[in-house]
Structure 1
Amino acid sequence: MSEELEHLIRASQGGDLQSFRKLHAQFVGRAYGICLRLLADAQKAEDACQETFLKVWQQLPQFRGDSSFSTWLHSIATRTAIDLWRKDRVLRLVDEGEPDEHPGSSAEQISDDLEKAIASLPAQARAVFVLFALEGYTHPEIGKLLGIAEGSSKAHYHRARQLLQERFGER
């Protein structure tokens, strides 16, 4: 952990709002990205991100530094997004629009297409896929987070991969 980050954390733990604003500015993009990939809805991701930083502020005095700050924040953001997902259960899917018929797509377009494809997955399959493939969680960890069996996590991941392969199989 850098000296500057450690200083910001300690000052924030002491109630320094200016230091916490700097922490927020440094980590809000990462937290929002996690929430957006899990929820596939910009407004819900924004809400989850705000709730994440509220929880970080409330729990910051208990942060001991056993793990890195970014790992700690990542787990709070993930749990917050999953909690919101559980409460809602009905997620809006990103409109896929017209399929790209141009084989020479730019890397940015392919990335956008992949984000849209992930967002269009069934909610549970999307959550498992994001947690496993993008965030590095194991199936037992995902099972605990989502309240499903490890085997169900594996099945949802396999289904998500299959759907993504079908969507991009022609490229």
Structure 2
Amino acid sequence: MTLQGQQTVIDAKQLFASKQEQEWIELAQNGDRQAFQQLYQLHIGRVYALCVRMIADREQAEDVAQEVFVQVWLKLDKFRGDSKFSTWLHSVATNTALSHLRKQKNWLQRVFSLEEAANSEPVINDHPELSDLDKTILRLPEKARLVFVLFAVEGYRHEEIANMLDMAVGSSKSHYHRAKKLLQEWL
């Protein structure tokens, strides 16, 4: 096909992968565990990476990533296909990670402790699979890290982040700029 003299190129690999994923989604929605396993294998890496960035603890991130897929299995019938599956999945992952953080015993203290500096770094050597940038992100104070990951990595708007974290939009922007400033200093 041509459009004003240009030839349209179709990426067969991408098209096949998309069709295969759609087939797995439909099968899994009908209870096919093998199809769900395929979806799990396809997406676990990115879900785990998001959980590690948000939670900054490898073991807890593994638990939360597993919980994400439990939630996805339970809610798969609610996926209507209005958006990409990966978009819906990462929304579930973000909400599950935030819910996990809220359930933490001292969550309020950790979230509102803005004076918490880089001295209270998580043990980043426990994350050999992470890039240097990801390890540096883990050093950020929790609130700044959450806002940075949600805005810069996951692409949420500050209005959405403010709603998710129950804060003012200005606070979300402030935490983002603080995170950026710290990352620039450390890198």
TM-score interval w.r.t. the shorter chain?
A: 0.7 to 0.9
**Corresponding residue of 1:48:** 64
**Corresponding residue of 1:157:** 176
Residues of 1 paired with 2:121 and 2:32: CA distance? 39
User: Runs of 5+ in structure 2 lacking a partner?
Assistant: 1-14, 112-119
Residues of 1 paired with 2:135 and 2:30: CA distance? 42
For the 8 Å contact 1:94–1:116, the answer to whether it is kept is no
User: How far did residue 113 of structure 1 move?
Assistant: 2.9
Pairs aligned (count): 156
**Corresponding residue of 1:94:** 122
Asked if residue 71 in structure 1 is aligned to residue 87 in structure 2, the reply is: yes
Q: Give the match's secondary structure for 1:80.
A: helix
The C-alpha deviation readout for 1:52-71, integer Å capped at 9, x for no partner, is: 00010000011110001000
Normalised TM-score (structure 2): 0.78
54-63 or 111-120, which moves further after superposition? 111-120
Distance 1:146 1:19, change over 3 A: same
Give me the identity figure in percent.
Answer: 49
Q: Give the match's secondary structure for 2:131.
A: helix
**Corresponding residue of 2:12:** none
User: How far did residue 96 of structure 1 move?
Assistant: 5.8
Larger Rg: 2
Residues of 2 paired with 1:19 and 1:95: CA distance? 36
Structure 2 counterpart of 1:94, which letter? Answer: P
Normalised TM-score (structure 1): 0.85
Indicate the RMSD between aligned Cα atoms, in angstroms: 2.0
The runs of at least 4 consecutive aligned structure 1 residues that moved more than 4 Å come to none
**Corresponding residue of 1:36:** 52
